[in-house]
Structure 1
């Protein structure tokens, strides 16, 4: 490097050659590493998809308990304190049935109990749907009306998102989510591009796991692009790639402390080589306490306890049509 008559520095041709060579050298190392990481991610997603398919025909009975432990003042009139629900889910050759029934205890400002009831059946042609609001209402819908409340073991950590798409699809990005048969426009907000990355292999609770991170990239490809959150998954290779642990980081609150943690436990072999989590939970911290006080205060926790599970249920098609509407129920779509 030398100075020109004006005093500014000029890079010599030799220096430029050395600089260009260094850049090319770094690129030559980085490109294979990136390609290898992307290949591993795609292999992981394909393995996950194949394992999720093992549970397409499934019957599950479970209990779902929610409890809110911490109340900032603004939530005392709007957020329920607890709920206790019994769930029954069946999926069989494309047909499905859901019964989701229990009670909810209201917030401290109105702590009375109210009923919860969703019942839904799809017989391969139409969906019958009964829902308890203030009173019962019914719907008859042409085609399948998928429901996030259905019990898919790989998707337990995604129940926060209220999405019915499989985990492998969620890791495949925005277009895959929105074009999946179970996808809806509400699964991904307009400026969000979920972007997965393979992070390597780790051992967790004695299980060999592959770690993958799903970044919440906003305004991808624009000057305003940024990452607002991430979710880390540990997929247990020898347990059908079940996500035995996930940690979610919302960068508005903290990049270092997960605001949400989900775990799948009590894994039992329900058929040779097929495992199922008989206990799982999602724990969420209070965001304001985490951001302003740097304290990890549990806001709420939801726990799932499975009592019965079986693969390959066999019910006649009439079973999936048996969603009766109580007398006087208004029915949308009915004749």
Structure 2
């Protein structure tokens, strides 16, 4: 299953982001100053080694109108994120439990300054040209929305909108009629901290309607790290959040440099909000930072791609999420360009068509046999 998912991600990840569109909306005047401050603070975490644990519990009901039909699923994941000199390494392992089974997960992603290796515990490896951002990359200013918001980029990048996001995540493909709009709503106090309240809207360009919204409270006494967030879905409610999050503990890594230690995000049932204007807790995600070090020392070879065992299927992918080379390690590689993105789809389409023809022919033969039997019976 992991092999199939990795391959599927390699081929279609470009169709999943709602953020890449022309910058058809201007951000508010206060955003430029806020982004400038954020970029200074974010730079303090450029060289980092962090180990975090993410616990997830999902109690969503099988039938939306009957909360008694909930089916509990849980996961516990350990993530180590390391970055220095522009190179990154993400190692994530965990266990997913559902009523039916328990599944172990593992993935390793390494950007060596030139290309990104992504592999799991099965014989499949994707190698991306350039930096391919991992969904488990740790950005302190996005830790509160870690694994909640799929747009895992720096907060300053997020606030700048579509063009900045596309530059940081070139693997994302354009999706028309949606754009990011950010604005500063003012200064407020939250949990005793002086905060800037900033709003990020995902907006449908054709009618200016809000599709999704994130409200962040950025604490000035904490390097503008978010201390609180709320998430909304336009079709559900623009006044009752479907998600809320809080940082519940902090640590000071250096003079004036803070880091969240524990955080919690709660997801509410969308059906209950839309129909009854009531929040029913369905998903709880807790993050605990086990270790974090700034300007760490790493062993030699830590950011080098591992050797690929013989027999491993390898896909090389460009910054447009197109597969341009596919081969099995230990065998002769296919010529560059021969394994274009559409080629696997054509192969599967051919197999599917042949299978469909076989089914039709089998059906025709079966009908003929039945008719022959009936004629003999009469």
TM-score by length of 2: 0.70
1:198 CA drift (Å) = 1.1
Q: For 2:232 and 2:126, locate their aligned partners in 1 and report how far apart those are by CA, in whole Å.
A: 38
Q: For 1:267 and 1:273, locate their aligned partners in 2 and report how far apart those are by CA, in whole Å.
A: 12
Residue in structure 2 matching 1:145, options 107, 132, 136: 132
Residue in structure 2 matching 1:59, options 26, 35, 49: 49
1:72 CA drift (Å) = 2.8
The answer (yes or no) to whether the contact 2:59–2:72 under 8 Å persists in 1 is no
SS in 2 for 1:228: strand
Structure 1 residues 326 and 61 mapped into 2: Cα distance closer, same or farther (>3 Å)? farther
SS in 2 for 1:321: coil
Residue in structure 2 matching 1:238, options 221, 225, 229: 221
1:260 matched residue in structure 2: 243
1:44 CA drift (Å) = 1.1
2:96 is aligned with 1:104: yes
1:76 CA drift (Å) = 12
RMSD: 2.6
Structure 1 unmatched runs, 5+: 1-34
1:198 matched residue in structure 2: 184
SS in 1 for 2:303: helix
2:202 matched residue in structure 1: 216
1:158 CA drift (Å) = 5.7
Structure 1 residues 103 and 217 mapped into 2: Cα distance closer, same or farther (>3 Å)? same
2:336 matched residue in structure 1: none
Structure 2 unmatched runs, 5+: 1-25, 317-328, 334-378
2:37 is aligned with 1:47: yes
2:87 matched residue in structure 1: 95
TM-score by length of 1: 0.79
Deviations 1:75-105 (A, max 9, x none): 999x981111111110111111111001111
Structure 1 residues 330 and 62 mapped into 2: Cα distance closer, same or farther (>3 Å)? same
Structure 1 residues 242 and 195 mapped into 2: Cα distance closer, same or farther (>3 Å)? same
* Aligned residue pair count: 289
Q: For 1:38 and 1:130, locate their aligned partners in 2 and report how far apart those are by CA, in whole Å.
A: 41
2:209 is aligned with 1:226: yes
Deviations 1:20-40 (A, max 9, x none): xxxxxxxxxxxxxxx9x9432
2:105 is aligned with 1:113: no
1:270 CA drift (Å) = 0.8
1:322 CA drift (Å) = 5.3
